[in-house]
């Protein structure tokens, strides 16, 4: 876990106040602990994605909630697909063959 101060030091184009606004807007969900925000690896990656979208791609503030929502949905669907793949892989060969045959139709 990294603190907000550590991330601001690593990512030159952002300021703590700006990230605090993103947290208030629920774009980020760090843990508040002992008087500071702590970012997991996933939240750090999300922060870096937001920075890239805002500064490299020029995504407007008004557009960001929609874009983040769509990315969250895509990530959720991807997780479900991986879980389904693991469940299928755990089935006997005859069941897997029947599933694969249905998918090829």
Q: pLDDT tens for residues 26-73? A: 999 999 999 999 999 999 999 999 999 999 999 999 999 999 999 999
CA distance 11 to 32: 20
pLDDT of residue 21: 96
pLDDT-based confidence at residue 12 (cuts at 50, 70, 90) = confident
pTM for the predicted model, two decimal places: 0.81
**Which pLDDT tens digit goes with each residue over 68-94?**
999 999 999 999 999 999 999 999 999
Do the beta carbons of residue 1 and residue 38 sit within 8 Å?
A: yes
């Amino acid at each position: 876990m990294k603190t907000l101060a550590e991330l601001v030091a690593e990512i030159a184009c952002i300021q703590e106040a700006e990230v605090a606004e993103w947290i208030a807007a629920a774009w980020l969900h760090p843990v508040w602990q002992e008087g500071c925000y702590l970012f997991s690896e996933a939240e750090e990656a999300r922060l870096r994605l937001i920075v890239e979208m805002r500064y490299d791609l020029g995504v407007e503030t008004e557009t960001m909630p929609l874009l983040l929502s769509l990315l969250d949905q895509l990530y959720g669907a991807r997780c479900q697909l991986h879980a389904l793949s693991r469940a299928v892989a755990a089935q006997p060969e005859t069941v897997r063959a029947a599933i694969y045959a249905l998918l090829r139709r």
